[in-house]
Structure 1
Amino acid sequence: MAKTVGEAAASLGVEAHVLRHWEEVGALRVPRNSNNYRLYDEEALDSARTVLKLRSVGLSLPEVVAAMSAEKSTAQALVKAKITKLQAEILTRQQAITYLQHTVECRHRYLDDCPDCLGFVREK
């Protein structure tokens, strides 16, 4: 059974205006009834869930639109670029953890006195 925009929003955990905005920018296509009311069938709800998932993994709304493009090469190129960016962020976070872990365990009173700490801060 199809849901209204309010019912769909509630089931997805978003506000109705969010779903309307996604439709407005082309991230979501929703069938309408004879009175032009949006009716969220299972296909539309799954599309909305896909938008939510893509947003939760870090894609901006324009990136979501591109990732959901009918042209597979466009979607793949965008997703590959996002993967590369996320991998770089992971590396940066891992380096931050290594540095911070060292500062916790550092035997020097002041971090500037530690050659290892200085080595970390001099890295680019």
Structure 2
Amino acid sequence: MQSPVISESGPLLDMRRITRPDAGGTPVADRSMSIGVIAARFGLAPQVLRRWESAGLLAPPRDTRGRRRYEDADLFRVAVILRAREAGFAVRDIRDMLDAGAPSVRHSAMERGRVVLIRRIAEARTALDMIDHALDCDHEDFTACPHFQSMVAGRIGTGFRRPR
């Protein structure tokens, strides 16, 4: 019998006998988790995991009752998908990154995601610069500061006149 796996960040993994569709219907001992357990572990709503499944990002096996049963490999995959989504990767690029057979397709997907992430990092740095300036500004009202206004004007674009 397999021993339960103890997770540092959660309870014992559920030990159940399930039927795996890819195993010819033969019950196998498995450490599997329900969609609710996985969703809670990552702070997601179960619908998010269902959407990812519909988009082809996840394909958890089902038990004899048709319920999804997530395994350790699915846990890893959810973590990768979540990080990629947080970085701004498109669903299509995540799917290509994880499942494309050709290394060139995977590489292209990662390059596209990298470009998006670089842009997001630049935008976050600009926002941080604005906050830092506002915190250190000598003006009683930082929004009246010409330097702060020029930082904001850069976000607005051409044709903006600073308030007086």
Distance 1:23 1:41, change over 3 A: same
- For 2:3, the equivalent position in structure 1 comes to none
Q: Do residues 23 (structure 1) and 53 (structure 2) align?
A: yes
Q: What displacement does 1:91 show?
A: 5.3
Given the two structures, how large is their TM-score scaled by the length of structure 2? 0.54
Q: Do residues 5 (structure 1) and 35 (structure 2) align?
A: yes
Return the alpha-carbon distance in structure 1 between the equivalents of residues 120 and 95 of structure 2. 23
Select which of 76, 82, 85 maps to 2:113.
82
User: What SS is found at the alignment partner of 2:99?
Assistant: coil
Distance 1:15 1:90, change over 3 A: closer
Given the two structures, how large is their TM-score scaled by the length of structure 1? 0.68
Q: State the superposition RMSD in angstroms.
A: 3.1
Q: Do residues 43 (structure 1) and 43 (structure 2) align?
A: no
Q: Greater strand percent: which structure?
A: 2
Q: Report runs of 4+ in structure 1 exceeding 4 Å deviation.
A: 88-98
Which is bigger in relative contact order (C-alpha 8 A, separation at least 6)? 1
Q: What displacement does 1:94 show?
A: 6.0
Letter paired with 2:71: D
Q: What displacement does 1:69 show?
A: 2.2
Structure 1: any 5+ residue segments left out of the alignment? 112-116
Q: Greater helix percent: which structure?
A: 1
User: What SS is found at the alignment partner of 1:68?
Assistant: helix
- Listed one character per residue, the Cα deviations across residues 1-31 of structure 1 (whole Å, up to 9, x for unaligned) are 2111111111121011111111111011211
**Identity of matched residues, %:** 22
CA contact (8 A) 2:94 2:109 kept: no
